[in-house]
């Protein structure tokens, strides 16, 4: 009788300990936001990634591919290399960080001929590990031509794009003439 109650107590305590460990790991998993659109500016394309966890993300692995539709359900896959060398980590989220080091923009040069075909899509894959718990986040985002917006990203945690309006006030013809005549 005592042996049976000892076994039952051991099994129940093991289940409770596993449940607590699982809940702790849920708190320490990576929370990452990737922009819903691609920002286009001066011949290059940006994808913004924001780290919302209170710990650094490490072992980053990110890729951008073009899936080109050739017809009859056949696709051609082409890897696009980033403009800059690979990052290995993203800083932890901190509200007081005025430089927003927890938000990173990955820049790419995408050939225009791939973007003009409406059947093509861009696929961004992002993989990162949480620095404390070593749990991983793997996110896949697909973009079409309609998801590319000319402009700049908002700062800090926002992944929204501010559309370009007039680059310079003197670029408008009426304003140039009025400034020249004064």
Within-domain flag for 145:
yes
Q: Give whole-number Cα distances, 115 to 11, 78, 101, 140, 144, in Å.
A: 58, 13, 30, 19, 8
Within-domain flag for 136:
yes
Within-domain flag for 85:
yes
State both tokens at 166.
Answer: 């007039």
pLDDT: is 168 or 90 the higher one? 90
Q: Quick one: pLDDT at residue 97?
A: 83
Range of the domain at 44: 36-149
Within-domain flag for 68:
yes
Within-domain flag for 162:
no
CB-based contact 122:111 (threshold 8 Å): no
β 32-34/74-80 pair status: unpaired
Distance of CA 115 to the CA centre of its chain: 20
Within-domain flag for 139:
yes
Q: Quick one: pLDDT at residue 77?
A: 86
pLDDT per residue as tens digits for the range 76-100 = 888 999 998 888 889 888 888 888 8
DSSP assignment string, 90-153: EPPP-TT-TT-TTEEEEEE---HHHHHSTT-EEEEEEEEEETTT--EEEEEEEE-GGGEEEEEE
Q: Quick one: pLDDT at residue 47?
A: 94
φ, ψ of residue 30 to 5 degrees: the values are -65, 135
182 — pLDDT class (breaks 50, 70, 90): very low
Within-domain flag for 158:
no
Within-domain flag for 138:
yes
Looking at the structure of the chain, the number of domains it has is 1
Report the CATH number at residue 121: 2.60.40.1400
State both tokens at 102.
Answer: 């927890």
């Amino acid at each position: 009788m005592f042996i049976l109650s000892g076994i039952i107590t051991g099994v129940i305590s093991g289940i409770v300990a596993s449940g607590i460990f699982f809940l702790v790991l849920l708190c320490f998993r990576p929370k990452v936001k990737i922009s819903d659109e691609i920002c286009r500016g001066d011949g290059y394309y940006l994808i913004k990634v924001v780290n919302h966890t209170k710990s650094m993300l490490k072992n980053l692995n990110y890729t951008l591919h073009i899936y080109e539709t050739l017809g009859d359900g056949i696709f051609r896959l082409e890897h696009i290399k980033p403009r800059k060398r690979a990052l290995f980590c993203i800083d932890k989220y901190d509200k007081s960080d005025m430089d927003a080091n927890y938000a990173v923009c990955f820049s790419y040069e995408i050939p225009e001929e791939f973007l003009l075909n409406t059947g093509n899509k861009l696929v961004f894959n992002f993989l990162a590990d949480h620095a404390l718990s070593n749990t991983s986040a793997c996110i896949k985002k697909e973009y079409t031509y309609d998801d590319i917006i000319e402009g700049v990203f908002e700062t800090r945690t926002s992944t929204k794009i501010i559309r370009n309006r007039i680059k310079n006030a003197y670029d408008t013809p009426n304003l140039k003439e009025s400034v020249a005549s004064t």
